[in-house]
Structure formats: C-alpha cells, structure tokens
A and B are shown apart, each in its own frame.
Chain A
Amino acid sequence: MAHVPNAYNNVPGQQNSSPGPFQQYSQIPQSQLPGPLKQDGNLDKQAPVMGFNSQNHFNQSGNSSPAFNQPGLMPQHTSSQSSPIRPLKPISNQPPMQNIQNIPMSSPSVHSNPNTISSSSPYPPNAQNQINNNAPPLVPSSQYSQPVMNGPMPAPNQRPINQYPPPSSSFSSPSVNQPPINSSYSPVNPSFGIQRPPTSMPPGLPANSHSAPLTGPRNSPQTTGPQVNMPPPSSMPNFAPPVGPLRSNIMNGPSGPPPMSAPITGPMPPKGLPSGPMLFGQPGPNLGPQTSQQQSKSQYNNGPTAPMSQHLPNMPPMQGLQSGLTPLPLMSQPGLKSGLPPMPPVSQPVLQPGLPPMPPINQPGLQSGRPPMPPMGQPGLQSGSTLPQMNQPMPGPASGPSTNLQNRYPQMQYSTQQQNQIQQNIAKQFPTHNLYGATQQMGQLSVTKQGFDQLWGHQMVDLLQCKQILPGYPEDPPEIRLGHQFAESPNCSPEVFRCTVNKIPETNSLLQKSRLPLGILIHPFKDLNHLPVIQCTSIVRCRACRTYINPFVYFVDAKRWKCNLCYRVNDLPEEFQYDPVSKSYGDPSRRPEIKSATIEFIAPSEYMLRPPQPAVYLFLLDVSQIARESGYLQVVCDTLKSNLNKLPGDARTQIGFICYDAHIHYYLMSDGLTRPKEMTVLDIEDIFLPSPESLLVNLGEHDDLIKELLTILPQRYSAPGVPASALGAALQAAYKLMAPTGGRITVFQTCLPNVGPGALQSREDPNARSSKDVAHLNPATDFYKRLALDCSGAQVAVDLFLLSSQYCDLATLSGMSKFSAGSLYHIPLFRAQRSWQADQLRHMFTRYLTRKIGFEAVLRVRCTRGVSVHTFHGNFFVRSTDLLSLPNVSPDAGFGMQLIIEESLADLQQVCFQAALLYTSSKGERRIRVHTLALPTTNTLPDVLHSADQECIIGLLSKMAVDRCSSASMSEAKEALINAAVDVLSAHRLAQNLPVGSASSSLHAPVSLKLLPLYILGLLKRKALRTGTSTRLDERVADMCFIKSAPLCAVMRGVYPDLYALHDLHEHVRRDKDNLVLPNPPRLQLTAERINITGAYLLDDGDSMIIYVSHGVSPAFLSETFGVASFNQLPDEARSLPMLENEGSELLHAFVDKLNDDRPYPSSLLILRDNSASRQLFTERLIEDRVESALSYYEFLQHVKTQVK
C-alpha cells in the first residue's frame, strides 16, 4: 500500500476500475442503480471505526421557537440582495413562463402573449457569463460602465408602457417617490436629486395618490414597505399616457433608488424584468433610444425589454449592485464626479447595440442632465401598473398577475462574496452615504424593483393565479454560487448531497425568520459512474477536526492548508504536492482530492479495528402456513440460485439459511455432507445453535450443496404447515450465528410472529383504517429494537422483506431494520400466483442481492464551526453526536440531517459540510468515501427564501412529519406540514412586505418555492399521511419507513408522481447521439383536467407505473400499442405491455425503459381502462383534485392563504 512518492495506486478491488489515462488513481465506474451487481469487495482486515474522531459540539436544539418576525427587520441588511445587477442568465428560457402563457386565464389580458416571447429572446443564456466576466470593472471605477448597468433595468419597463395606455396621471406617483430618492443621493450627487424630482414629478402627482395604495401592496412583495408606486390593477389602464413623467421616474429608479431599497426588501429589482415579457410586442430594436433620451420617450414602448438583454452582457458591473443598494448610487455618483452630468452618453454607447429606448440604463447619468426621463419613468410605472396585465395569462385577479410576470425570469444568482466586496468598495468611496434613507425612498419605485427582482432571481409567483405551476421537465435545484475564490471549485452533486437552502442564513434568528427547515440530505453510497479512488500512505486530514482535505480548503502557501471547517492551519505532507497526472511536484491544487468534491480513499491500516470482515449472508425464511400459501419461497429460492455467483464478495464469502415456523430449522452444509442436512430445534424459548461452524458455509466451496438446498426447500415446504411463526427466536439464533463476524441477515416474513420471544398480537382495527387519527404507529414491544441494537453492535444488519397477506405489525417489526441500518421491502397481499407480484419480488430481490454493499460502516458528518447536526433521519444507530453506525450500507439508502445554527456565521463566506463514509467493501477493503458540500452564506431574508431548494425541503419535511407521527400524532404531523407551507409564505410576505392575506387576492411565493405547497399537498395525500381513505396500517408504516430512509429522488416520485401523455408521445421525441429515438414528453399536472378522454396516460410513482387509457383514445393508438382493435377489447387490468413491431409500440417501450433506467429495479406496470373497476388506483393519484376528506390544490391554497399572516 505504501508507496511514498506515488500517492495513488490503482485500486485493486474494484471490478469496475477502468485504468484511465492516469494510472495512479483509477476511476471506478459503478454501475447505475438499475443495473445488476455492483460490488466492491475485498477482504482482509476489518476495522470499524478507528480513523474517525471528530469533535463535535453538540448543542441543544433549542431553536424551535418561531421567531419569525417583522418584515421590517430585513431592511437593515443593506447589502446583498438589493443590488440589481445580478447575472441574468437563465431568464430567457424559463419553463414557468411558458406555462403561464398556456394557462387559461380567467381574465385574459392583451399583454400575455408578448411575455413569453420576450422572456426567451431577451436574455440569452450567455448573458450570465458575460455579466460575470465584466463585473469586476464595474465595481471599481468606470463610471461610465455603471450607468450602463443601470440602464438595462429601466429598459424593460418601458415596454409595458406601450402596451398599456393608461392615463397619464397614474404615472405621476412614481415621480413623487423619486424626489426623496434623489435627496438621499444628494450627498453624493446633489445635482441629481434636485433636478429629477421636480421635473419629472409634476404630471404624475395626482395619479400617484391612488396608484400608490394599490401599488403598495402589490409591489410590496418585491420591495419592502416604502414603495408606493405600484398602481392597483384597476389603475393599470391609466398608466400608459403618463409616459413623460414616468420616464423620469424610471430613470432614477433603476440607477439609484432600487439598489437602496433592495437592502430592505431584498428583492427590489424586478420591475425592469416584467417589461421583459412585454418584449414580445417589441423586441430588441428599441435599444437605440438609450443613446438619445428623447427618442426614448416615443420609443420607450419598444425599448425596454430588448435593451435589457443586450445590456446584460455588459452589465457585469452590475454585480456591484448585488451588494444591494449601495452600488447603484455609487454608479450614478461616479458619473457625477467625473463631471459628466449627462451620464446617458456614456451608457448609451453601450446600449446602443440596438435598443433605442433603453434610456433607463443611462438614465442615472442622464437624469442629472435631463430632469424628465420620460422613457425611464414610463417603464417604471408600467412595471408597477402593468404587471397585472403582464400576468394576463393568469386567470386570477389583477394583483396576481404582477407576480406571475416575475416567474418568467429565471433567478439570477450572485455570490455573496462579490456582493460584499462591492459593498465594501462602495462604502469606502462614499462613506457618507445614507443608504438606508435612500433605500427607503427608492423602494417606492416599484417598477424598478420588479426589474431588479428579476435580475436577482427574486421573482415571485402568485400561486392562486398560476394554474400550470409544474414545469414540464424537472428543474435542477438552485445553483450554488460560491465566492470567486471557490467559484471554480467542484461542488458535490445534488444527487448525493444537498441542502434545503443554497445560501445558509448567517444567524439563527434569520433562519427562524425564514421559517424554512435547515437540513441536508445525503445519499452517500449512491452508485456513481465516475468516482476517483485514491490510495495513499497518509490521508491528509485536519489535525484538529479530522476533516479530509477537500476542494474548499485554503492553501496558505505550498506547504500549509487551512481547514475549511475549523480554520486550523495544517501542514501539507510532501507527497501531497506530487501530481499523479503530470508526475511532477508543485501545485497541490492539481491533486484529485482538490479537484473532486466526491472522492474515495483506500484506507490504510489505521482505519481498521479488526481485519475487514468477509461478506456473510444469512437468509431467514418464514415457512409457516401462510408463507407456504403465498408461495414466495419458490420465487426467492429461484432468484437466489440464479444470482448466487453475483453476490458481492470474495473468496471468504459465507452463506447460510434458517427456516422457521413454530420451530427453527437449521441446514448443515459442512464438508462431510453430500446433501444439506436439516436440524430442527424445538425449543424456541432458549435458542441454541446445533453446529455453528457448518451453518454458515463458504459460498465458493459449497456451491453445489447450496444450490441443492435451494432446489429442495420449496418442495420441502410445499405441504400445509403450522400456522405459527417464531420470528423472534429465529432472529436470536441468527444473531448468535452472525455476531462473531458481522454481515447481513435477510428476513422473509409473511405473517405476524405469534410464538416464542417477540410474539406479537394483532393491533389493527380494520374498521379504523380510514379514521382521522391513526393509532399503533409505534412499536408494541422493544424486542426487535433491542435485537437490532445488538446486531448493530456486532456489525450485523437485518433486512426485512415483508410479503404479508395479513396484518403483520410492521410498526414493531420494522425496528429490526431501522436500527441496524437495514432496508425494508414490502409487498402487500403477496401471492406468487400473481405473476406481476412474483416479478416484482424477483426484480426487487435481484437488485437487493446484486447491489454493492459496504460492511461495518460508519458515517460521520462534519459541519463548519457554528453549525451542527440536530437530528438524524434514516436507518442507522446514532453512536455519537455526529457519527452513525451502519452495519451495512447500501446504494439505495438515503439519510437526512436537521441542522441548527449555534453561533453567528457572519464572518464566514461559506459553510461546508463533509460526510465521510468509512466502510469495508465486499472485497475486504477498507475504504472511505468523502463528500463535501460548500454553500455561501447570506444575511438577508429574501436571499434565503429565494435560494431554497424545494425538493430538498420536502424531503426533510416528510421525514420530520413521519417522526412527528410517531412522537405525537398523525393529525399533528399533518398540521405541522400545512404550517410549514403557511410559515414559509408568511415569511416571504413579510420579507416583501406584501399585503396580508385577506387584503389581497393573491398568494405570492418565491419562484424557488413555488412548488412547495403542491408538494406538501402531495405529501399529505401519500399513503403514509393520508387520512379518510382506507389504508392498511402496514402499508402506511411501510411508506413511512420508505420516506425516512429512501434517497430524495425516490421520495419525490412518490410525493408527486410523474404523469405523461402517451397518445402524443411521438410529438415529444429527442434524438440522442446515436440517433436513437428517445421519447421525452413533458410532465403533466396531476389533475383530472389534464386527462383527455381521447388520450392515454402513464403515471409513474417510482414503485409502479399505471397506464390509464381513456375510452375516446384513437383505435390506431390502441392497435399500435396494445394490439387490440377497440377500447372494449382491452382487459380490465393488464400487467404487461405487448411488444409489437411498430413505431408506436417501440417508442412506448423505449419510454418505459427510460423511466426504469433511473431506479434500482424496474417498476411494475399496470394498464387500466377508464372504466376499469380499479381505476381508482389511478384517480387517487391525481392529487390536485379533491377527493373525499382531502382538499384540492386550489382549496389547499385558499386554506393556506387564510392562514398566511
């Protein structure tokens, strides 16, 4: 193992290891989940946990208190959010926008169409990058550039003006606001303040008065209180005329004010953006106006959006804005200082690329020169007023629409570090600035706010208005943007490691204000395709906290590195500077440890407490009367027989079998025997092992005996047997047998264990299956838990296959798997005669047998100082505050951790989490797999809300809800889930200063959380949590166990199943590199509205796929895919899809295969007609519809809305 200079050796153990270009370390492709076996393995020494020592400070949870408070708090954070200039990148293509358009709006407005177009065109994906690159210059010096930056914002606004020919009066309001803004600025540029306000203002004033109230609420979401500008929906029409005044407003707004306000509200910006949608009417051409302000007046209609897009690339300076507020003022100021009163010229050149009306950008500069910025102002007004119109797609009330607009624009993300830097720079330059006052005034310019919001990615969605809220294709979680220092560093894949928020709040009080659960979800042993594996003599770790070196450490110099978790400076061993790729010494950052956030080490002997254990498998088979009736034994034995040689392991692999009914049957397969010998022990109270050494035998050496036994067993137990099951005794025997080595016990159980130790009694009341509160979710005895703890201590995991045909008290039995890190599979009402169930078991069991396995594992999660783990979720035993004991670890196991912030993170730029999994591979090798995730921090509430990862939140909430079910009650858990949605939306409302629920007809959510209520509704209707629908207790508990221990992707599929239309599959086809046809239909929302009587649909919940054929489907489709001529010839229920020689059938099969590709084993298929007796299997999954005793999505939103405070 130890080669001094060459840190890396090829890893012997992994079958997959592909000697790549770099021999020093091999990348081990691990087969994808679905694939059969992935084994690692090696033998030799075992050692449980030596290496892991970490210091954890475990603190008290304490934080539960809902300290959510006033919105007002926000404003104080001047910095990050306000800055308008975030990178626009994603804006153009956003799916949500398209959806919006499609949505049938109750009140269709004229403007809707344009939006879609604009969204796509104006912001090319590239924009982001460009912006970033440019950014640096902006901050420091160039005054000119700054104006440009501002410019883009206003432009969007202009368009709205055109569309809406409202009365001029409305515009005036913005003008009113502006003056104050100017004043605030005045310290910097006195000239600005004076000039603008008066000039622009006059016309608007009257209008302002009424507009203000309206706008206040609506706009408020984006900006905090101050913004007065927004006209109510009704007022909207009025706006158009006032162009002249508006311009002025706009001008000012974008440049100076918006940034100011931003700090307060956070998401000020977007106003400009709304215009984006407007673009449709008038695309890019408008830019021209920017150059000449005058033009802008007339042109401004067109200009706004186009300019935005163009400018964006240039915008980089904008980043400065992020800091929030300050940047803008500065921007303008520089211009002033320079002595260029007419800023416009500067910016104009930039803008000119094409958009005439752009004026807003330049405007800051311009303003000084031109009091009435007409174009600018208009856009601004429009944004406020027009927003409703923009929304037109949305059926809802006018107020709603404004939010919708925002949706269209993708979020912009900014690195907080950059923002801070910018702010600091600004602060240095203009120490006297009164940002706060300025921001308040600025806040009134709602239009600009919206534009900035969009730039930042702080868009909102009006949930009540947005009917089609589900994006057609799954979206990636919000991107993680670290500071520039680590901007290039690879972060851990979100499939492996993700956090509920992608910007960590700096303080616990901020977290409480956001009302979001803070936690991480880990899928540590996921099958990975490219995993760098390293073998080296010494693994570089922090000496204080034992963190493994990772991409996010800071190299003080070539010889030292600073730990990113505890900040200790450590020495770097000589060999770490050797680069295995170039075979040269030097820069340590070329090492694979630094280049990859997920890495695997082959551990040296210090990491072993004992020699790595061999793979040992013991199967416990229930052969009681019910088990024999179910016929599962045949399936299991056949499957096992055919997969014997695929069991992960090495030459030491051992296997054994125990059957049990009222007694325990052992099978001896020792050397001297030619046939397996059965020994039955009648005494189940005091268990003993007849001949321990021949019960577990070497797999390789006794292959014949084992196969013979597997052949005999099903016959041996085919006759009727005893209706008794001594599971407890069998488990005790198994534990005795396995304790010396550790390994895996696989239990097949079909009935309630009713004799011997651990005997249970039926607790379920079939009549209470649909009652409001569910009892008996907790174990009846701790027998199985204690046994699991014993097993855990002996490095034995217990996996349970529950193939029940009756109540088995899974709530109690599941203890054996929960605390020994086992897995749990449940097939209710199993009958081997039902071929689909036999198939399901076969697939399940094959995957189970052949998947990779890690023995005697421990998982340690380390967090940056100040953050600590509060509660763990999953199957394991918690051995210390940050250490999970996992006797076995499988690629299908996921874990969740709730975190608490114990001390302020304000002086940190990022927070890191590191999960290290130490395990023994099936080849007897000790390995450490390390995942590192780094997240930026933030100090503003909107940033937290807008960086939330809704899927991860659902993953964590579901686990917390399951815990709540057992610790309190089902109804309390459901209440808590609904409250989670209410709290988050309330926090958002406070952050944005939106009107209170009853005062507004809309329900706003940040784009990043727009699906949260939908998912929560889905969660409430899951088997685990639903009430009012008849649900077997075992199925409910099985679903709970699944939620607790499954990786996020599997949980999400269960929460909100995917629905696809099959009848037009050929219309959504994409060709891959090999020119193979890949059907790629968009997802549909789960509502009967989407079910057409002439269609066929596939619903995929991960566990099963249901194909639902409506009676009006075309005969051509029927014959093509099902081979039947008419609808009536379809069977009531079918379990397989015929393979036909035609394009449609092949396409469908390709689609099903594709869906099956990303899960451990293929889902079972069920084909239903829409008049089948069991069609409710399908319809009950349409979770957006109302069912008895459960709300529809819309009702749910209404309910949430009434609760939002």
Chain B
Amino acid sequence: MAFSFPAFSYIIALIVDAFLIFFSIFHVIAFDELKTDYKNPIDQCNSLNPLVLPEYFLHLIINLLFLLSGEWFSLLINVPLMIYHILRYKNRPVMSGPGLYDPTSIMNSDVLTICQREGWIKLAFYLLSFFLYLYGMIVVLIAV
C-alpha cells in the first residue's frame, strides 16, 4: 500500500473520466434530439460548442498525468483518441468561436450520423477506460 504519484494519477483519471462520460452522454442525447426535431440546430450548437474544448482539455490532463507517472500502457491507449481530437479540431469548419459544430451543416444527415456515431464510440471508450483506470489504481495501490 503506497500512495504514489501513479496512484494519484489514476484517482484523478477516474474522476475526470466520470466527467467525460457525462460529456459524451450529453453529446449523444443532444444529437438524438437534433435528429428527432426537438431542438433548433442553432441552440443545440450553442450548447455543444462550449463543451468541446473542455472535454479535449480534460482528456489531455489525464494523459499528461499518465505521462508524468510513467503509466505507458494507459497512455498508449489514449494516444489515438488524442490524435483524433487534434485532427478533428484542425479540420473544423470556419468559425470564430470555439467548438466544432456549425449549425448550417450539422443537419446534413452524414454529418449528423458521424457526430452521433462519434458520441457513442467515445461513450464506450470512456466507460471501458473507467474500469481500466479503476483496475490500474488498485494495482498501483496494492503494489508495495
């Protein structure tokens, strides 16, 4: 039983990951609402866009902690998603504010589909990684 920096990283990662799960649930719900006509795309984009960067930022923090604590496996698992985030943000439509979603193109069904699928995949990823972090934390804590 040793409370080391890796253990600290995992604990933080667990907490942050819980937030990320909420983010992606919100994301999935928001796009479902768009698809079923309940929301105006302008409103929906206005509520989604401010959350994009915080999500990326939180994810980055986890990985930074893993890097510093030398948890290479956990880091490795997260690298593809980080790269995806960076590329996605680089290719976002022209917009002055932060965010990814453009109300004029979001209703194109291929964009909508991609976004929705992205939401589900991320949700699954965060859930799985949550248990991974839990396991990692226990392992680190137990290790003497």
Contact = CB atoms under 8 A, between A and B. Distances in A.
Interface of A: 54-56, 58-62, 64, 778-783, 785-786, 789, 793, 818-819, 868-872, 877-881, 883, 900
Given A785-B104, A881-B35, 17 more contacts: A58-B112, A62-B110, A62-B113, A64-B110, A778-B94, A781-B94, A782-B93, A868-B109, A871-B108, A872-B107, A877-B104, A878-B104, A878-B108, A879-B107, A880-B34, A880-B107, A883-B37
Contacts of A878: 41, 104, 107-108
Given A782-B94, A789-B42, A880 B110 contact: no
Contacts of B96: 781-783, 786
A58 B103 CA distance: 17
A870 B109 contact: yes
A331 B107 CA distance: 53
Contacts of A782: 93-96, 102
B37 A880 contact: yes
Interface string B49-73: 0000000000000000000000000
Contacts of B112: 58, 60
11 contacts: A61-B109, A779-B94, A782-B94, A785-B104, A868-B109, A869-B109, A870-B110, A872-B108, A878-B107, A880-B34, A880-B41
Given A782-B95, A782-B96, A61 B41 contact: no
A785 B94 CA distance: 10
A61 B110 CA distance: 5
Report the interface size class on chain B: 20 to 34
A968 to B, nearest CB: 12
Contacts, number: 68
B113 A879 contact: no
A59 B110 CA distance: 9
B40 interface: yes
Given A60-B110, A61-B113, A780 B94 contact: yes
A781 B112 CA distance: 23
A793 B37 contact: no
A818 B108 CA distance: 15
B94 A789 contact: no
A793 B95 contact: no
Contacts of A59: 109
A881 B113 contact: no
Interface in B70-94: 93-94
Interface of B: 34-37, 40-42, 93-96, 102-104, 107-110, 112-113, 116
A863 B7 CA distance: 57
Given A780-B94, A781-B94, A56 B110 contact: no
A56 B103 CA distance: 19
Given A56-B37, A781-B94, A782-B95, A793 B107 contact: no
Nearest to A963: B108
B104 A58 contact: no
A504 B119 CA distance: 34
Nearest to A62: B113
Nearest to B35: A58
B104 A789 contact: yes
A872 B105 CA distance: 10
B109 A879 contact: no
Contacts of B116: 60
Nearest to A885: B40
Query: What 6 A-B pairs come out closest when comparing CB atoms?
Result: A60-B113, A878-B107, A61-B110, A880-B37, A61-B109, A782-B95
Contacts of A879: 40-41, 107
B20 to A, nearest CB: 25
A793 B109 contact: no
A871 B112 CA distance: 11
Contacts of B110: 60-62, 64, 870-871
Contacts of A55: 37
Nearest to B43: A793
Contacts of A872: 107-108
Contact of B107 (A54, A60, A785, A881): A881
A781 B94 CA distance: 6
Contacts of A869: 109
B55 to A, nearest CB: 22
A872 B109 CA distance: 10
A614 B106 CA distance: 32
Contacts of B41: 878-880
A577 B90 CA distance: 61
Nearest to A879: B40
A753 to B, nearest CB: 16
A54 B38 CA distance: 11
A757 B107 CA distance: 28
A778 B112 CA distance: 21
Contacts of A793: 42
A908 B107 CA distance: 28
Contacts of B42: 789, 793
A782 B104 CA distance: 11
A59 B35 CA distance: 8
A819 B102 CA distance: 12
B39 to A, nearest CB: 8
A264 to B, nearest CB: 35
A966 to B, nearest CB: 10
Contacts of A868: 109
Nearest to A878: B107
B37 A881 contact: yes
Nearest to A882: B37
A1018 to B, nearest CB: 27
B109 to A, nearest CB: 5
Nearest to A812: B94
B41 to A, nearest CB: 7
Contacts of B37: 54-56, 880-881, 883
A886 to B, nearest CB: 14
A781 B97 CA distance: 11
Given A880-B37, A881-B37, A819 B94 contact: no
A62 B113 CA distance: 8
Interface centre among B40, B110, B113, by most chain A C-beta atoms within 10 angstroms, is B110
Nearest to A783: B96
A320 B96 CA distance: 64
A900 B41 CA distance: 22
A60 B109 contact: yes
A719 B112 CA distance: 53
A872 B104 CA distance: 11
A762 B109 CA distance: 34
A58 B35 CA distance: 6
Nearest to A868: B109
A789 B116 CA distance: 23
Nearest to A786: B96
Nearest to B104: A819
A881 B109 contact: yes
A789 B103 contact: yes
A61 B116 CA distance: 12
A869 B95 CA distance: 26
Contacts of A64: 110
A62 B117 CA distance: 12
Interface centre among A60, A783, A900, by most chain B C-beta atoms within 10 angstroms, is A60
Contacts of A780: 94
Contacts of A62: 110, 113
A868 B110 CA distance: 13
A56 B41 CA distance: 15
A959 to B, nearest CB: 13
A13 to B, nearest CB: 30
A1120 B116 CA distance: 69
Contacts of A779: 94
Contacts of A781: 94, 96
Nearest to A815: B104
Interface centre among B34, B93, B94, by most chain A C-beta atoms within 10 angstroms, is B94
A942 to B, nearest CB: 29
Nearest to B37: A880
A957 to B, nearest CB: 17
